[in-house]
């Protein structure tokens, strides 16, 4: 067994507020660009897959559909 110390990032205090600001600024300045991945909303592979799928759905909705996906 090999212990991988400090291999997983720990979000800093205030991360959720930072995330909200990033999402608001991105939607204002770069509509149809959606951040996803380990830096944002969960550090495990399932979290990253969920974020990628969500980003893809929002992008498709923004480009091709009238109703934005929440
Ligand atoms: C040792 C280790 C073990 C892990 N084991 C597990 C596990 O068992 N289960 C689990 O759920 N999660 C595990 N994780 C976490 C999981 O691997 C990560 O959360 C996930 O891979 C992050 O995906 P991501 O796409 O956000 O980032 P990454 O997978 O890091 O992808 C980012 C990509 O962007 C590229 N890139 C970076 N900068 C630039 C640039 N300037 N221009 C172009 N490309 C760039 C990089 O080369 C990389 O390909 C582990 C992580 C580590 C380090």
DSSP type of residue 15: H
Cβ(48) – ligand 1 distance below 6 Å = yes
pTM of the model: 0.86
* Tens-digit pLDDT profile for residues 3-53: 988 888 899 999 999 999 999 999 999 999 999 999 999 999 999 999 999
Cα dist from 3 to 6, 7, 8, 56, 67, whole Å: 9, 9, 12, 35, 47
CB 58 within 8 A of CB 65: no
Query: What residue spans define the domains of the chain?
Result: 35-70
pLDDT value at residue 42: 94
Phi, psi of 61 (to 5 degrees): -60, -45
Q: Ligand 1 centre and the CA of 38: distance in Å? A: 7
pLDDT value at residue 8: 81
Whose tokens are 């149809």? That residue is 32
pLDDT value at residue 68: 59
């Amino acid at each position: 067994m090999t212990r991988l110390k400090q291999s997983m990032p720990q979000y800093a205090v205030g991360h959720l507020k930072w995330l909200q600001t990033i999402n608001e600024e991105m939607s204002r300045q770069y509509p149809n660009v959606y951040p996803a991945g380990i830096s944002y909303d969960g550090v495990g592979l399932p979290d990253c897959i969920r974020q990628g799928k969500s980003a893809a759905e929002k992008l498709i909705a923004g480009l091709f559909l009238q109703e934005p996906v929440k």
